Structure 1
Amino acid sequence: MRYPKDHKETARAAILAAAARPLKEKGFGGVGVDGLASAADVTSGAIYSNFGSKEAFLEQVVNEQLGAEFAVIDHLDPDERRRRLAEFLHVYLSDEHCASVADGCLMPALSADVSRASDAVREAYERRITALIERLVPALPGSPTEQAERAWALVASVVGAVTIARALPSGEHSRAIRAATLHHVTAALADGDPTAG
């Protein structure tokens, strides 16, 4: 049987998408290669042949998924980008996203694991988060320097809020931290003309 030319890439992408779910849900130390393979309905050998190692798999997940959720603001003019970003932040800080670790943003789920990973994984994280900041800058008010500062603060705020909210046993406190963060980041979005500077 002959496979299409892109079969290997398509199969690899499907493995990555499926196996990333338990990685985000259980953390790097909480799931082994067998667990990753089981989630993707492949053998452990398929993980090794496609990615080389568990840490290389983590690096590829970072390369593919970090910041991907924010693509909803791409290719928009600054005003529309800012409006869409505000809408997106409501979803990002929602109960649903907070509860959905496996299908949610990589940053609150795996940043602590990345901090303990190899230089290659950390460098991939740095590249992707820097690209995310560049994606956010046009949506934010102020001079270019202020826009960059606001972008870093926004990402740190929302990722930190979801991370802390997930760690809290009380739904009340989890919602309170996310509501407070949403209030502050959306106020920062509205502060001035995003085309200024």
Structure 2
Amino acid sequence: MKVSRAKAEENRRAVVKEAAKLFREHGIDGVALSGIMAAVGLTQGGFYKQFGSKDDLAVEACEQAMTANIDTLNSLINTSNGDVMAAIIDRYLSPEHRDNPASGCAIAALVADVARREGPIRRSFEDGIRGYLEVIESALSDCNEDAQEEVDAVAILSTMVGALMLSRAVEDEHLSQRILEAAADALPGRSKTAALTEQ
């Protein structure tokens, strides 16, 4: 049965959204096309009517995930009553974020996959990183000058991503929490209180 153009576009968006979630949770190579299509109620046969390859889907899924993450950070900046940099750090380096990769940072979830690939997905990933950096630079503008001189947006993003990845890679809950807290306390705009242990 032939579907309308509008329905086909709706299906495409659903596939990209689901892929963005599943790729972050399981890795690009850890998810079969059949699993993605089944998750949105479609058959694998319909995949190639919408996408040239799994890599093409990965590019779009990566872009979708990065955009959603950046929108979330911008929303946090716009709604934060206090220090926006502290709010970003506390949210990013939280146990909740650690435990929910499917809806979390695409950089931390997909960096290892993307590093082994060439072409459009790496360019898309790089654009996403630049987007994150712009958000952090905007948040830093609300910090005092000493904090800005001490560390820049690249160092902040690198610290947060690395800590999140390490916290997910260990089984010891106490060590995982220590990694998150140590990274958070090392960054500007966040007091040395045990904010994470209070959650």
Alpha-carbon offset, residue 85 of structure 1: 3.8
| 1:23 correspondence with 2:20 | no
Superposed displacement of residue 179, structure 1: 0.7
The TM-score with structure 2 as length reference comes to: 0.78
Q: Deviations over 1:147-179 (max 9, x none)?
A: 8x6111111111111111110011111000001
1:22-101 correspondence runs (5 A): 22-66=22-66, 68-74=68-74, 83-101=83-101
How far does the alpha carbon of each residue in 1:15-51 deviate from its partner, in whole angstroms, 9 at most, with x for none?
2112322222221221221122122221123333222
What root-mean-square deviation, in Å, do the aligned CA atoms of Structure 1 and Structure 2 show?
A: 3.1
Structure 1 pair 46/104, CA: closer, same or farther in 2 (3 Å)? farther
6-15 vs 99-108, which moves further: 6-15
The 8 Å contact of residues 99 and 166 in structure 1, kept in 2 or not, is answered as: yes
Over residues 95-144 of structure 1, what are the superposed CA-to-partner deviations in whole Å (9 max), with x where a residue is unaligned?
1211112222211111100111121110111112112212221221478x
Contact 1:19 1:39 survives alignment (8 Å): no
Give 1:77 shift.
Answer: 8.3
Report the Cα distance in structure 2 between the residues aligned to 1:42 and 1:184, rounded to whole angstroms.
47
The 1:32–1:6 alpha-carbon spacing in structure 2 relative to 1, beyond 3 Å, is same
Question: For 1:189, what is the secondary structure of its paired residue?
Answer: coil
Measured at CA, do residues 19 and 91 of structure 1 come closer, stay the same or move farther in structure 2, by a change above 3 Å?
same
**Structure 2 counterpart of 1:25, one-letter code:** E
Instruction: Determine what percentage of the aligned residue pairs are the same residue.
Output: 28
Corresponding residue for residue 118 of structure 1:
118
Q: Which residue of 1 aligns with 2:170?
A: 168
With over 3 angstroms needed to count, the CA separation of the structure-2 counterparts of 1:129 and 1:67, relative to structure 1, is farther
Aligned counterparts of 2:45 and 2:3: Cα–Cα separation in 1? 20
Query: TM-score by structure 1 length?
Result: 0.79
Gaps of 5+ in 2: 192-199
Find the residue that maps to 1:29 and give its secondary structure. Answer: coil
CA distance in 2, matches of 1:82, 1:2: 53
Aligned to 1:134: 134
Structure 1 residues 73 and 113: CA distance shift in structure 2, 3 A: closer
1:60 positional shift: 0.7
Which sits farther off after the overlay, 160-169 or 131-140?
131-140
Give distance in 1, aligned partners of 2:72 and 2:84: 7
Q: CA–CA distance in 2 between the matches of 1:152 and 1:13?
A: 31
CA 1:26–1:74: 2 relative to 1, 3 Å: closer
Q: Which residue of 1 aligns with 2:196?
A: none
Letter in 1 for 2:180: R
1:34-85 deviation digits (Å, cap 9, x = unpaired): 122122221123333222211111111111112532424538989x697234
Q: For the Cα contact (< 8 Å) 1:168–1:174, is it kept in 2?
A: yes
Contact 1:58 / 1:121 at 8 angstroms: preserved in 2? Answer: yes
